[in-house]
Amino acid sequence: MRKMISFAAACILSCFMFSCARQAPAVLRIATTTSVENTGLADVLVPEFEKEAGAKVNLVAVGTGQALRIAREGNADLVFVHDREAEEKFINEGYGTKRSEVMRNYFALVGPPGLEKELDRKDVLSILRWVNDNKRIFVSRGDESGTHVREKKLWELAGTGGSRGQYLEAGSSMIATLRLASEKGGFTLSDTATFLSHQKELNLRSYSGEDPSLVNIYSVIPVNPAKAPSANVSLAEKFVEFVTVGKGREIILGYGREKYGSPLFLPLQD
């Protein structure tokens, strides 16, 4: 009798453990850029995807360069970043499968108010030359993020050899860099979404418009299982579909419209 009870208990325990294992949600590890988190977009996208996919998302928000390093080390299933050249290198080296463009906004060169007469209606390269010639403070991300990479490219195009003023490297997130520029009365390059979503707490204004050289495109790339065997490719591909043609695209299209009068990001897929 005791053996029968013991056997029955073992069966029940085994079924319970199997059921729990079976019901544990799959996990998608996303390495993304800080602007996706700093703007609050991730706080809206992630819960909706988790509900739709019956999965859990572990998201880490860092600069694009660091996000790609995390993926190269096999610690992400998907990257959500904004540096096309680095993304293409990531794929060409075999770490990513396919790059899908999700959304765009612009970078903005922001600085202290009161310089409208000097800087309004100037293109971004002319503004950088003015910052350089007048030895003004410039605060850089300094972290190999997509924003930092674009900033360095713009200094190169401006032909100044970089700022000869007070060039500070924050080595931190976009919002931390904006706060430092605000405190120092300096300039910085920001994505427009992060700047607009925190503008009220900053003593900064944008001096650049929708200059073609400031277009900022965000893409998603699943990690190649040939490089990272543990990568959850199927769930990564579901997220790609979610943000390019699914419910995620609808969220992006409307995000920020009510508060700012227009979306912080514009979807790129039809």
Stretch among 17-21, 64-68, 97-101, 146-150 having the lowest mean pLDDT: 17-21
How many structural domains are present in the chain? 2
Q: Check pLDDT > 90 for residue 123.
A: yes
Give long-range contacts, CB 8 A cutoff, 24+ apart: 241-244. 242/49, 242/52, 242/53, 243/45, 243/80, 243/102, 243/103, 244/100, 244/102, 244/220, 244/269
pLDDT at 94: 97
Residue-wise DSSP of the chain: -HHHHHHHHHHHHHHHHHHHHHHSPEEEEEEEEHHHHHTSHHHHHHHHHHHHHTEEEEEEEE-HHHHHHHHHTT--SEEEE--HHHHHHHHHTTSBS--EEEEEEEEEEEE-SS-HHHHTT--HHHHHHHHHHTT--EEE--S--HHHHHHHHHHHHHTSSS-SS-EEE--S-HHHHHHHHHHHT-BEEEEHHHHHHHGGG-S-EE---S-GGGEEEEEEEEBPTTT-TT--HHHHHHHHHHHHTSHHHHHHHHTTHHHHSS-SSEE---
Residues, the chain, total?
270
| Amino acid letter, 167 | Y
Same domain (yes/no): 176, 195? yes
Q: Are residues 89 and 112 in the same domain?
A: no
Tell me which of 214, 241, 256 is where a domain ends.
214
- Statement to judge: residues 126 and 163 lie in one domain: yes
Same domain, 201 and 114: yes
Residue 199: which CATH number?
A: 3.40.190.10
175/192 same-domain check: yes
Average pLDDT, whole number, for the chain?
A: 90
Q: Is residue 176 domain-shared with residue 208, that is, in the same domain?
A: yes
pLDDT value at position 24?
67
Same domain (yes/no): 222, 208: no
Cβ atoms of 184 and 64 closer than 8 Å:
no
Asked if residues 89 and 108 have their Cβ atoms less than 8 Å apart, the reply is no
43 shares a domain with 86 = yes
Whether 122 and 193 map to the same domain: the answer is yes
**Are the CB atoms for 226 and 94 separated by under 8 Å?**
yes
The confidence band for 262, taking pLDDT boundaries of 50, 70 and 90, is confident
Residue 239 scores a pLDDT above 60:
yes
d(CA 120, CA 267): 29
Residues 103-107 have a mean pLDDT of: 95
Q: Is the pLDDT of residue 52 over 70?
A: yes
Neighbours of 146 (CB within 10 A): 29
User: What average pLDDT does the segment 91-110 reach?
Assistant: 97
> Between the ranges 19-23, 163-167, 215-219, where is the mean pLDDT highest?
215-219
Structural domain including 90 reads: 2-104+217-267
Q: What is the mean pLDDT of the segment spanning 209-230?
A: 94
Identify the pLDDT of residue 259: 87
Same domain for 28 and 92, yes or no, is yes
pLDDT-derived band of residue 162, with 50, 70 and 90 as boundaries?
low
* Residues 98, 226 within the same domain: yes
